[in-house]
Homo-oligomer: A and B are copies of this chain.
Amino acid sequence: MSMRPSALLTDFYQLSMAQSYWQAGIHDRNAVFHVFFRRNPIRDRYVVAAGLQRVIDFLNDFHFTSEDIDYLASLSQTKFSKDFLVYLKKLRFTGDIDAAPEGSVVFANEPLLRIRAPLALCQLLETPLVNALNFSSAVATMASRFRMLAPDDLLFEFGLRRAQGPDGGLTASRSAYLGGFDATSNTLAGKLFHIPVIGTMAHSFIMAFDDEKTAFETYAALNPDNVILLVDTYDTLKGVDRAIAIPNLKAIRLDSGDLNALSKAAREKLDRAGLSHVKIFASGDIHETMLAELKKQRAPIDGWGVGTHLSTSYEQPALDMVYKLGAIEKNGQFSYRLKRSDNNRKTSDPGILQVKRLTENKRWLRDVIYDIQSPVISNATAEDLLKPIFQSGRLVYSSVKLSQSREYCLQQVQQYHASPDFVVERDAVLIDLKNSLLKKYDE
């Protein structure tokens, strides 16, 4: 799915600032902005970058429609001049984008996307770019953490009903798969993103029949290749007994109650009945802590349906992703800028930033954030995190299949976990640059 193409999907102040730049005659100065998040998310240190495809789709079709322009002309809180609206009407994406490919593991303060474009254009793109990357990355990160907790289990994303609107749900399904899930229940996501779709039955299916036995028998007769029975509608262990009596049983699903005790009791019943090949799936408000705890208790659960907690990124519903000016062109030269804060963590890095990832024997040594005008030299194997995506408005990046990004992500996460001493640093020249700018502001 592509992001809705409307260029109006932006904060209103971007438009009023763009007009002020235009009126002041500085709208066409080249500016460099970076997208990054300031804090690593809870529980672990890494973020899975996601949402770049959405950025690409959006920028490829970036334009204001006549209807958009009419709407802006109708507003009274900021008066848009006719000439500025003509400028907007003609505006297309003409800049450079360098970004971490989807599935990359990235860290706090590292740019995951850098844009170099005319100032007014950069400003208008702040909101849609952060919107595209922030939530996608949050869900992909959470999905990746689930995958790490249950490396060999089946992981199903079940969150559409509680997701944040239709495309909140679509983004969540896509990002969950990218982060390492096996399948989704979201049929439209299956169609749009070529993700395997899965499904069994709901309590209402059981309740639609007069009793559980009839419901199970009917379902199994009609779906002989997919006999996965939900056993907890009335009495879970009685449900397990009834499921055992059904031919071709493939799996049972537990959706409530004490999943540790119930899965153990169900496993015993199944094994005793000679059904050790029958799997046990669990669902029902599963979250990270719960899954970790059930793993610790060795609950014999083979597959997990994760809904609300994944699709809304419940435990941390947003990364604190920001978009900060690093440099602006003036008289043909880039002048470096930073946003200062009493809170040192919130003071941004100046420059035109890139990240060098140094590795040795497939282990990551460190990431170095640096300014590309003073490149980092190193003897270790090194790769730049940000890859060219757009150059002068032209797409130069060959989009990869989502399943390939998923493989890349799994590999990145494994490399990260295999690198216990890994750190993120700022290059010494960058630190000097920052300190000298801070000093200047103090004067």
Residue numbers of A with Cβ under 8 A of B are 3-4, 6, 8-17, 19-21, 23-24, 26, 29, 31, 33, 68, 71-72, 75, 77-79, 119, 122-123, 126-128, 130-132, 134-136, 158, 160-172, 184-188, 190-191, 196-205, 207-208, 210, 218-219, 222-223, 225-226, 233-235, 256-257, 285, 308, 312-314, 317-321, 323-325, 328, 335, 337-343, 346, 441
- Please name the residue on chain B nearest to A341 by beta carbon: B256
Given contacts A187-B9, A318-B312, A318-B314, A131 and B166 within 8 Å (CB-CB)? yes
Partner of A318, one of B16, B162, B199, B340: B162
**21 pairs across A/B with beta carbons < 8 Å?**
A3-B165, A9-B187, A11-B185, A16-B226, A17-B201, A20-B201, A20-B222, A68-B191, A75-B197, A131-B161, A164-B312, A165-B170, A167-B168, A203-B325, A203-B339, A207-B328, A207-B338, A208-B337, A308-B320, A312-B312, A312-B313
A126 to B199, CA, bound (A): 14
Chain B proximity of A337: nearest CB distance (Å): 5
Question: B135 to A71, Cβ gap below 8 A?
Answer: no
Residue of A11, A210, A337 with most chain B CB atoms under a 10 A cut-off: A11
Contact residues in B for A68 (Cβ distance below 8 Å) = 191
Contact A12 B314 (CB under 8 A): no
* A10 pairs with B342, CB closer than 8 A: no
B17 and A78 contact, CB distance less than 8 A: no
Also in contact, A204 and B325, with CB within 8 A (given A23-B222, A168-B164, A197-B75): yes
Chain B residues within 8 Å of A8, by CB: 187-188, 191
Q: Is the CB of A196 within 8 A of B77?
A: yes
A233, B123: Cα distance in complex, Å:
16
Cross-interface CB contact of A31 among B172, B196, B208, cutoff 8 Å:
B208
Determine if A188 and B9 form an interchain contact, defined as CB atoms under 8 angstroms apart.
yes
**Closest B residue by C-beta to A218:** B24
Q: How far is the CA of A77 from the CA of B337 in the complex (A)?
A: 55
Q: Which residue of B lies closest to A23 (CB)?
A: B222
Contact present for B197 and A340 (CB under 8 Å): no
